[in-house]
Amino acid sequence: MLSDLAYTIIYVNDIEKSTAFYRDVLGIPLDYAAPGWVQFKARGAAIVLHPRVDAFANGNAVHLTFRVVDLDATHQSLYARGVRFVAPPKATSFGKHATLFDPDNNLIDLIEWKSPTEARVISGETVVNEILARAPQAMEVLEEHGIRICGGCIVLLNASVQDTAAYSGLLADETKKLIEELSKSIQPGVE
C-alpha cells in the first residue's frame, strides 16, 4: 500500500559527525546541505539528516514520508486495520496530508500531492510547491536567486515564496524580482 517513499529524516545529535558518517564512512553521495538539512542522494528516496529538535522530531529518531495517490482511500483502509492517526486527512496548499503512528508512536507522514492547476499570478504568499507542480522549470528561477530546494525539503516546498526567500536571505527587492520571474516562468509568453 505504501511503496513510494519520498524521503526519510533521521534526527541526529551532531549533524557534522553524522554527515561525515553517512558521506565518508557509508559512502552515500551528498546531494544538498543547508543549515539544519543535509540531504543524501540514495537510489529511491532521499535520506535527510536534521538536528534533533523537539519541535521537529516529536520524540522520533526517524521520520518517514510516503507519497500516496488517494489519501482518503489510504486513510480509510489503514484506519479500518486499526492504524492510529493524529487526525483525518487535511487539505493543504500542496495537496492532502495525514500523519499516522507506528506501534512505537513514531510519526509517519502520508502526502497526496496536488495535481497541477492552471496558471495564475504568483504572489509572495504563493506556496513554492504549487509553482513547481505547475512549472518544474521554475526551479531554475529559484536557483538563479540562490534558492536551492531539494526534492524532499518539505519545509521550503510548502512555504510561501516570501518565507522561502526570507529563509534563503533574499532582501525585499530581490524577493520582488523573484516573484516577477516566477510569474513569467509559469506563463511563457506573458510579459
| Domain containing residue 24 | 4-113
Report the Cα 47 to chain-centroid distance in Å: 12
Looking at the structure of the chain, the number of domains it has is 2
Question: Per-residue pLDDT averaged across 42-48, rounded?
Answer: 77
Q: Within a domain: residue 80?
A: yes
Q: What distance in Å separates the CA atoms of residue 54 and residue 107, rounded to the nearest whole number? A: 13
Q: Are residues 91 and 134 in the same domain?
A: no
Q: Are residues 109 and 133 in the same domain?
A: no
Q: Are residues 40 and 107 in the same domain?
A: yes
Domain final position from 113, 147, 177: 113
Q: Within a domain: residue 31?
A: yes
- What is the tens place of the pLDDT at every residue in 96-140? 899 888 877 777 888 887 765 444 567 777 777 777 666 767 777
CATH number at residue 101: 3.10.180.10
Question: Per-residue pLDDT averaged across 21-45, rounded?
Answer: 82
- What is the tens place of the pLDDT at every residue in 167-186? 777 788 888 888 888 887 77
Identity at 127, one-letter amino acid code: V
Order of strands, sheet of 90-92, starting from the edge strand that comes earlier in the sequence: 30-34, 37-40, 46-51, 4-12, 62-67, 107-113, 95-101, 90-92
Could you give the C-alpha distances from 158 to 53, 109, 176, in angstroms and in order? 20, 14, 19
Q: Are residues 78 and 162 in the same domain?
A: no
Q: What distance in Å separates the CA atoms of residue 125 and residue 86, rounded to the nearest whole number? A: 27
pTM of the model: 0.51
Q: Within a domain: residue 123?
A: no
Instruction: Burial-class residue 169 by CB neighbours within 10 Å (0-12, 13-18, 19+).
Output: exposed
Q: Are residues 89 and 163 in the same domain?
A: no
